[in-house]
Amino acid sequence: MDDEKQGVPPPSGEGPSEIPEAPAPSGETTYSPPMEVIPAAAAPPAPPAPPAPPPETMPEDEEEQGMLRMSFMEHLEELRNRIIKSLYGLAVAFLASIVYCYKLWEIVSEPAVAALKTLHVDPPQLISTTPMEGFSIIWVKLPLLCSIFLGSPWLVYQLWAFISPGLYKRERRWAVPFVLLTGGLFIAGGCFAYFLAFRYGLTFLLGISLLAGNVKPMVTITEYFDLFVNVTLGVGLVFELPVLIFLLTLLRIVSPRFLMRHSRYAILIIVIVAAIITPTPDVVNLMLFAVPMCALYFVGVFASYLLVLRREGGQFPWKRALWITLIVLVVAALLYSVIAYFHLHFIRGWPFLTR
């Protein structure tokens, strides 16, 4: 019997044959073999799960969250807005200073009056040589100078608001200390010049002319005020040295190691600046300016070190430093008490102290 009569199944995967079966002859029984059941193909294994997507922010990019991206024109627009707001603050302080201009002039001219009284100059007062001199000094320049000192915290805040978009989020927390310290140091520098440096320098300068015997000092208010502005503003700006060092460290321009390595050059520059600011040519007044400036430089280096230490995750041993400072202060107080009790004074040779 051929394949069609035996009912051979078609090859696997081809399905039933489409060829019709031939009709069976009459009187014969047709045998149909059972159909073979072909199992369905096994399902392929499931593909492995894809790897988890990376986090939206990598650890090295976490510090950059919140940093404002600005174009060059946007930076110029922001600078323009900050300058306008600074001028508004100065205008308010200027108007407030005009109201008390005569009282402010009494305060500003007091070092000159005290110096003239110390030198026994009679009358101890400044003079005016032109009709407009009093108006330009007392009503214009003096309120402007006072407005700069009164508005210094506002000006510093505007400066911080301009540079803060380029800082990390954790570094913006320094805003309040930065504004208070910067404005406070500027005002402290002006007070240092007013109460100490300017008075000694003015007395020295006026006393030089009296040594001739036939010279009487007559100082105009313009010359006096110009000298006063140069000294007070100069010393006020010099007192910003720690803040400048801290800001440069914050922007990663300098480091404590760099500052200490080049400290000799910094001291040289400080002495040159002090010689320019000092109103007198003597060494005593020069050191009166230079020593505090050098101390401020190393205070700024210490602040820079604290910032870098905090940035690297370190911690400064404040407890040990406070104990050492306390011990030094106690020893200094004891030495001063002994010297004052026995009425001792310093001499150049041994034993360096005598009655």
**Chain segment 262-302, per-residue pLDDT in tens:** 999 999 999 998 888 877 777 877 888 888 899 999 999 99
Residue 333 lies in a domain: yes
The whole-number pLDDT of residue 64 equals 53
What pLDDT does 149 receive?
Answer: 94
- The answer to whether residue 242 sits within a structural domain is no
> Is 339 within a domain?
yes
Phi, psi (deg, nearest 5) at residue 14 = -100, -15
pLDDT at 105: 95
Q: How many CB atoms lie within 10 A of CB 254?
A: 19
Residue 132 lies in a domain: no
- Contact between residue 102 and residue 139 where contact means Cβ atoms under 8 Å apart: no
Confidence at residue 1, expressed as pLDDT on a 0 to 100 scale: 46
> Which pLDDT score is estimated for 60?
46
Tokens standing for residue 6:
């035996």
Give the tens place of pLDDT for each residue, 91-122: 999 999 999 999 999 999 999 999 988 888 88
Q: Does residue 338 sit within a domain? A: yes
CA 224 to CA 113: how far, in whole Å? Answer: 11
Domain region containing 330: 319-355
Regions in the chain scoring below 70 on pLDDT = 1-47, 49-69, 346-352
DSSP 180-231: HHHHHHHHHHHHHIIIIIHHHHHHHHHHHHHTTSS-----BHHHHHHHHHHH
Give the pLDDT score at 344.
74
Domain count, the chain: 1
Question: What is the per-residue pLDDT across 118-149, written as a single tens digit (0 to 9) for each?
Answer: 888 888 889 998 889 999 999 999 999 999 99
Asked if the structure places residue 65 within a domain, the reply is no
pLDDT at position 104: 94
303 lies in a domain?
no
pLDDT of residue 205: 83
DSSP state for residue 220 in the 8-state scheme: B
Q: What would you measure as the largest C-alpha separation in the chain, in angstroms? A: 166
pLDDT at residue number 281: 73
Q: Is residue 350 part of a domain?
A: yes
CB 161 within 8 A of CB 82: yes
pLDDT at residue 55, as a whole number: 55
